[in-house]
Amino acid sequence: MEDLTQEEWASQLASDDNAVVLDVRTDAEVAEGIIPNAIHIDIFKGQGFIYAVEELDKSKNYYVYCRSGNRSGQACSIMNQLGFENTYNLEGGMMQWTGDVVEKE
């Protein structure tokens, strides 16, 4: 897991052809808007979160975010324990995000 600043995260994501953006917030938080092309798996789903994450492609690079950066850090740790090698936590989360936000489809 690597903690990246907002600038590092956005810059690295933009140049990564193997990237997946993962939103680990609650449904209510996601309803306020998500980063474009993000997939949503709520970390508060507990074992359900683990089951959903285990379905993901471990060869991808995961850019993980939440509201403030705490839950996404936990999600990165869990993912690393499950065998994901490349996880990047967005420091400051959506509270500090200045990039694009879209409504969840």
The answer on pLDDT for 104 being more than 90 is no
Catalytic residue among 1, 21, 35, 66: 66
Mean pLDDT of 17-38: 97
List Cα–Cα distances, 70 to 17, 43, 74, in angstroms: 26, 11, 6
Domain architecture of the chain: domains with CATH: 2-96 (3.40.250.10)
Spatial contact of 72 and 80, defined as CB atoms under 8 Å apart: no
Annotated catalytic, 76?
A: no
Write out pLDDT tens, residues 79-99: 999 999 999 999 999 999 999
CA dihedral over 6, 9, 12, 15, signed as positive or negative? negative
Cα 67 to Cα 5: distance, rounded to the nearest angstrom:
14
